[in-house]
Amino acid sequence: MESDVVIGLEVHVQLNKLNTKLFCPCPISYHQSEPNTHVCPVCLGMPGAMPVINKEAVKAAIKVALALNAEVQSFTVFDRKNYFYPDLPKGFQISQYDRPLAWGGYVTIETESGEKKIQLKRIHMEEDPGKLSYKGSITTAKYSLIDYNRSGVPLLEIVTEPVMNSPKEARLFLNKLRIILEYLDVFDGNLEGAMRIDANVSLKGGGRVEIKNISSFKGVEKALTYEITRQRNLLRRGRKVVRETRHFDEVNNITVSLRSKEEEQDYRYFPEPDLVPIYTEELINEVKNTIPEMPEEKRERLIKQYKIGDNFAKVLVLDINMANYFEEVAKLVSPKLAASWVVDVLRGELNYRDWDFKIAYEKFKPEEFAELLNHLQHEKITEKGVVEVIRTKLDEGGKVDEIIKNKGLFAIVKDEIEKICKEVIEENPKAVEDYKNGKKQALNFLVGQVMKKTRGKAKPAETAKIIQKLLQ
């Protein structure tokens, strides 16, 4: 239906799990710091200061490139991208141009019509500029303030080929990319500004439009949806879609023209003379063995190792913390039980509270969760009881067994039900007689008596079966 739509993305990813900036020893953690405290002559662009490459950043970048199946180049060069902006203290950004870290690669996404490989064009390293902020809003503020704490934070730019055909595919790609980056332990997607996206979109017969600097996945989907409608309407009315750069207004969910093709800047790229080319062979060897199991491999292994369904495995690998949590639980109880309770119930309860499995690790340890499921496996608690324990544990804390005891959630074991059934039979000879004479309602009465005695903890169907067996 939307096959006339072509989308390509440029994704800027902060390697925000590193300790220091790309070209100086300043700490990269800027979210909690006073403005302009994590700065030095290098990231402030003071005259005479020189950049020195952070090897750990290159290693992290190589790790990502390898995990995205890209071809890491044997040597790679930094270039200067020249433009004037107050958040750019040197008047140029150190980036990469015609010798990027890696070419190619792909990310597999799962669409409604099956798997799709999103081909990548290139992956390169660059430094983040500083950050402009405004007292009040950008439109009413009388001046801009600049925080250079972000200046020099290592960024990866991941560029896709124009191969996505719908805003939804774009979102699926970004989700998958985020999962992979988090698996590699180089990226924390929860931090503000961790991933910023430029989206290119065109319709058959129209010019390519670039939407700049979108800061959320939802924003990408919304901006693209708006933009496709806008372009489609123009084409339908016989008007031209001009090649231009647009800005996404996140408040009104619309895109606004920034500049046309003629006004595009000439960045006058040339090799950064203060840095030497990086030869990657040794670094690749160092990094190669540190790449953990990726989502696809993990999915296959979970199915094979734990004999769980793909419907569960597929969901488990979406979050490495969830997959790890599951595996810890599955070591202690039936893996199938673990999979269904982790995926279907625990995940839902966490989502409901806007939490993730990192929080689950704190609030409800996998061993405790296994203990709870163990009770279920041995029928010491009903499914309803399990849900109640999960909720209580997440909201109020406490020990699993104590919650069960305090709330009276321990299910009555089979032997005990049988004993109560026998008592009920003895105490109600009339009903027994009626039943034997073919009165079906008598059985219901007897089951009701058992339920009464167990205060509802016995399962009615099971109880009926036991009584029937005893009266045979």
- We find the least distance from the C-beta atom of residue 100 to another protein, in angstroms, to be 17
Nearer to another protein, 96 or 334 (CB): 96
Angle ∠(123,152,320) on CA atoms, nearest 5: 55
Nearer to another protein, 146 or 241 (CB): 146
Nearer to another protein, 99 or 168 (CB): 99
Nearer to another protein, 132 or 345 (CB): 132
Nearer to another protein, 99 or 365 (CB): 99
**SS in 3 state form for the chain?**
CCCCEEEEEEEEEECCCCCECCCCCCECCCCCCCCCCCCCCCCCCCCCCCCCCCHHHHHHHHHHHHHCCCEECCEECCEEEECCCCCCCCCEEEECCCCCCEECCEEEEEECCEEEEEEEEEEEEEECCCEEEECCCCCCCCCEEEEHHHCCCEEEEEEECCCECCHHHHHHHHHHHHHHHHHCCCCCCCCCCCEEEEEEEEECCCCCEEEEEECCHHHHHHHHHHHHHHHHHHHHCCCCCCCEEEEEECCCCEEEEEEEHHHCCCCCCEECCCCCCEECHHHHHHHHCCCCCCHHHHHHHHHHHHCCCHHHHHHHCCCHHHHHHHHHHHCCCCHHHHHHHHHHHHHHHHHHCCCCHHHHHHHCCHHHHHHHHHHHHCCCECHHHHHHHHHHHHHHCCCHHHHHHHCCCECCCHHHHHHHHHHHHHHCHHHHHHHHCCCHHHHHHHHHHHHHHCCCCCCHHHHHHHHHHHCC
- We find the least distance from the C-beta atom of residue 269 to another protein, in angstroms, to be 8
Nearer to another protein, 212 or 380 (CB): 212
- We find the least distance from the C-beta atom of residue 53 to another protein, in angstroms, to be 7
- We find the least distance from the C-beta atom of residue 69 to another protein, in angstroms, to be 30
- We find the least distance from the C-beta atom of residue 274 to another protein, in angstroms, to be 5
Residue that has been written with the tokens 């199938």 in this structure: 336
> Which two three-digit tokens encode residue 104?
């190619």
Nearer to another protein, 159 or 275 (CB): 275
- We find the least distance from the C-beta atom of residue 138 to another protein, in angstroms, to be 13
Nearer to another protein, 268 or 353 (CB): 268
- We find the least distance from the C-beta atom of residue 215 to another protein, in angstroms, to be 22
Nearer to another protein, 40 or 254 (CB): 40
Give the Cα separation of 112 and 289 in Å (integer): 34
Give the Cα separation of 159 and 107 in Å (integer): 12
- We find the least distance from the C-beta atom of residue 220 to another protein, in angstroms, to be 28
Give the Cα separation of 192 and 128 in Å (integer): 14
- We find the least distance from the C-beta atom of residue 280 to another protein, in angstroms, to be 16
- We find the least distance from the C-beta atom of residue 44 to another protein, in angstroms, to be 6
Nearer to another protein, 90 or 116 (CB): 90
Give the Cα separation of 94 and 51 in Å (integer): 9
Q: Which residues here bind another protein, judged by CB under 8 A?
A: 41, 44-53, 80, 82, 84-86, 89-92, 143, 146, 266, 268-270, 273-276
> Which two three-digit tokens encode residue 444?
């219901």
- We find the least distance from the C-beta atom of residue 122 to another protein, in angstroms, to be 19
Nearer to another protein, 80 or 457 (CB): 80
Nearer to another protein, 54 or 160 (CB): 54
- We find the least distance from the C-beta atom of residue 231 to another protein, in angstroms, to be 27
The answer to whether residues 104 and 130 touch, using CB atoms and an 8 Å cutoff, is no
Give the Cα separation of 155 and 172 in Å (integer): 22
